Structures are given as structure tokens and as C-alpha cells.
Amino acid sequence: MTAQPAPQSGSDQGSNINPATQARQRWMAVLARTDHAILEQEWQNHFADVQWSHLREPQIGMVMVRGRAGGAGQRFNLGEMTVTRCAITLSDGTVGHAYVKGRDRIQAQYAALFDAIMQRDDAASDFIETLANRQAEAKRENARKVAATKVDFFTLVRGEDE
């Protein structure tokens, strides 16, 4: 049996978010997926003389992950995940925030630092672009491996119509 897709229903994500916030959401998502070693090295290479202080020291906690019954219905609490958060202030007063999956305090701290740098003057935009491309490439590579397991049905001709 062949099924036909229904027209796409509207997404519940608000589209009234301003472009600056959208850009920030994007780099925060990229930073949340980057190992602390990569962040630390980039910081040491290009931003080591930046003055900053902790607004909130890195802290490990949890987020309760929610789902929806049937994927679209009533909300429910699925279970928790570990999350680390951190907030820092640059000497000019710019505040950087980070919430990242897992328990890596160093990652959270550098993610907050780069968040502040990006808000101040986009000075890490090339770095963020490189990371984003690398993440997209890894995702694509994985999706190609998955695609190799897609079933190609074919119908056997039984000769009854001949």
C-alpha cells in the first residue's frame, strides 16, 4: 500500500524572533556541540589577552526533558539530562551565557566566553563557521551511512497477466 503525505502543518516555533537573536541561537547551538579542547585552543590562540570574570561559575545541574504524547499531543516529562551552565562578563560589561549538555565545566565556560565575544564584535565568526561546517559535514556523513540501509522494494513478476 502506498501512502500519501498530508500537507505540512505549521511549526509551533515562533517566527517573530529578531535576526540578532537568531544568529545568537545559532552560534550557541554550535558551541554546545563542540569539545572543550577545541574551544580552549582557539581561545588560547586568539583571545588569551581578553579580560573577563565569572558572573556565574560553571555549575552542573539537570534539565527535565519533555515529550508530547503521539509526538504532537499532551506534554509529559520523559526524564532528566545533565547540563552545565556558566555566565561570564567581559571587561566592557558584555555578558556571555552557556547551557551545554553534559557535565563539562570547561566547555560551558568557553562556550560562554565565545558567546560574549560574538555579541561584542563577531570576532569569532570564522571559527564558528568552521565548527558549523564541520558539524554539518559529520551529520551528513552519518545520514549517508544510514541511507545505505534504506530498503529498495521490488515486485516479483509472477507471470499471471501473461
Residue among 48 and 72 whose Cβ is closer to other proteins = 72
Contacts (Cβ under 8 Å, ≥6 apart) of 63 = 80, 81, 83, 99
Residues 15, 1: Cα–Cα separation, whole Å? 37
Contacts (Cβ under 8 Å, ≥6 apart) of 110 = 31, 36, 39, 40, 43
Residue among 3 and 48 whose Cβ is closer to other proteins = 3
- How far apart are CB 70 and other proteins at their closest, in Å? 4
Residue among 44 and 73 whose Cβ is closer to other proteins = 73
DSSP-based three-state secondary structure for 79: strand
Residues at the site binding other proteins, with contacts judged by CB under 8 A: 1-6, 9, 17, 21, 25, 28-29, 32-33, 59-83, 85, 87, 97, 99-103, 139-151, 153
Contact indicator for 30, 131 with CB cutoff of 8 Å: yes
- How far apart are CB 49 and other proteins at their closest, in Å? 27
Residue among 143 and 157 whose Cβ is closer to other proteins = 143
DSSP string, 109-146: HHHHHHHHHHHHH-TTHHHHHHHHHHHHHHHHHHHHHH
- How far apart are CB 36 and other proteins at their closest, in Å? 13
Residue among 48 and 69 whose Cβ is closer to other proteins = 69
- How far apart are CB 103 and other proteins at their closest, in Å? 7
Residues 91, 109: Cα–Cα separation, whole Å? 16
- How far apart are CB 106 and other proteins at their closest, in Å? 15
